[in-house]
């Protein structure tokens, strides 16, 4: 839970900073401002959503989490022709 909060805070603050960029902003700003949302989204990507499994019995949570993680990862596969 703390990593989700930290991820959302970093993502929100980072996106706010990115929205303040202008066309003539220095390179240090447009490079540096991408670091915060990048770290935040990285934290959010790596955490699993366990509340989705709350309605299941304990014996089924491992299978459900594996299926959830598979679908989450499979959705990000790019098909190249």
Domain extent listing, the chain:
1-47, 48-81
Contact 2, 14 (CB under 8 A): no
Contact 47, 7 (CB under 8 A): yes
Alpha helices by DSSP H, listed for 1-81, are 2-19, 27-32, 35-46, 61-74
Q: pTM for the complete prediction?
A: 0.63
Give the phi and the psi of residue 26 in degrees, each rounded to 5: -65, 155
Q: Which of 30, 73, 12 is nearest to 65 (CA)?
A: 73
Residue tagged 């390179």 (tokens): 27
* pLDDT of the chain, 81 residues: tens digit per residue: 788 899 999 999 999 999 999 999 999 998 999 999 999 988 887 666 667 677 888 888 888 888 887 887 887 766 554
């Amino acid at each position: 839970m703390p990593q989700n909060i930290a991820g959302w805070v970093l993502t929100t603050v980072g996106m706010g900073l990115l929205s303040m960029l202008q066309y003539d902003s220095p390179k240090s700003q447009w490079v540096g401002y991408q670091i915060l949302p990048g770290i935040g989204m990285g934290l959010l990507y790596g955490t699993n959503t366990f509340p989705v499994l709350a309605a299941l019995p304990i014996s089924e949570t491992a299978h459900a989490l594996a299926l959830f993680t598979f679908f989450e990862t499979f959705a990000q596969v790019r098909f190249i022709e």
